[in-house]
Chains A and B, each alone.
Chain A
Amino acid sequence: MELIDREDHQKLYLQLYEILRKKIETCEWQVGAQIPTEDELCRMFGVSRATVRTAVLELVRQGYLKRQQGKGTFIYRNIISEGLNMQTSLKELLLEEGLEIASRVLAKTVMMPVDDLDQKLDITPDKHIIYIKRIWTVQDEPVLLQENYIPYHVCPLLLEDDIENHSLFEIFDKKYGIKITRAKNYMDITRLSADEGRVLGLPEGSPAILLIQHFYSGDTMIMYARAVKMPDRFQFSVELERKVV
């Protein structure tokens, strides 16, 4: 049996998570079976209850396990990731349903690619880009500040479109026939700049979740998006399409 390596720099719960995930994916633990209790896992791997709980919680969150009240935790799926079930709109990324989500455009203008934006957008540095900055509110409360960068030549008339009442993806698709076929999402923790804090009503340096998205149509880069979100208000959901083995 694979055991925890205390010499390894990786956190214990991550090591345990990997071990348990392998057991599920290799069918050592069958779908539908109950996993050992927390105490048993603590003994099996020589780790604390907190480590076991965190690893199991992550497996539950990712859909491998399911908890049943009063019964225990069971293998729910024996799964292999097959890529994103793509969510392109921010409304789709906000987990809670039934909430009133709105966006307000703070800026819609044209600029040149500064810093490494040319590389991010796969354009030469002398190409113009459309810059859109929006604040997203949920129940009138600012929750997320999003900046979109689109190579100007991809959609020159976008500046004249009503992006307050239509999603960018709807406009890309229906008006310009640009289908977003691929998205790469990255999440990280960041600290708000003074400007971001002012817009979100928080002090500069406040911790926030950073969401970076790259959108493609085929191999063509269509848009780069950067968003900062307050960590304690509402959740993102990123849904994965998985194949049951």
Chain B
Amino acid sequence: MSDGKLAKDLMIGIFEYPHIPYWFSINQAVRIIKVSFISTKKFPEPMAILVFDEKYNLMGTLTLKDLLKGLEPRFMQATTKAQVPEEDESGLAVIWDSLFKKDVKELAEKPVSEIMVPAKHFVQPADPITKAAYMMVHHDLVLLPVLENKKKFVGLVRMIEVFDEISNAIMSE
């Protein structure tokens, strides 16, 4: 298995990621992603921004996917598998030219609080990484906050380290 490794053994510091308050706009978040990652050619896995409240409590995370999703027009967000047959996107072909272009500036003024993934799940420093792996798999997370005493945000566990650790265990057995 993972040699009894704990979340604190794998976690990375929170200042590895940009921080923003929840009232920042998507536009501001996009600029921060560009400055912090893309223009510096730093591509950590995942590229994400941490969103905080006014008391510096972690509220949620924003990945590139979340940001792009926030820039979709509302009618796209309403699309569900019940309305469009799976794998059949031909009905949407007419909008490819306008998607992420038309009204995108207006949509980018929305606050990030509307599009972030709320930080509902976390582990504690002394939790085993198997718990972190379980939570990431079952809650579809790529980044998991580590909270001390269920309150103080002290680090982040990433999928890549969890995967690496578990894959090492498989290969050695």
Contact = CB atoms under 8 A, between A and B. Distances in A.
Contact of B55 (A108, A111, A152): A108
A109 B31 contact: no
Contacts, number: 45
Contacts of A106: 54
Interface string B1-31: 0000000000000010011110010001001
A111 B54 CA distance: 10
Interface in B15-63: 15, 18-21, 24, 28, 31-32, 35-36, 40, 52-56
A111 B19 CA distance: 5
Interface in B77-115: none
A125 B28 CA distance: 12
Give the interface size class of chain A.
10 to 19
Interface in A95-113: 106-112
Give the interface size class of chain B.
10 to 19
Contact of A112 (B36, B40, B54, B56): B36
Contacts of B19: 109-112, 128
Nearest to A109: B56
A108 B18 contact: no
B21 A131 contact: yes
Given A126-B18, A126-B36, A114 B54 contact: no
Interface of A: 106-112, 114, 125-126, 128, 131, 133, 152, 159
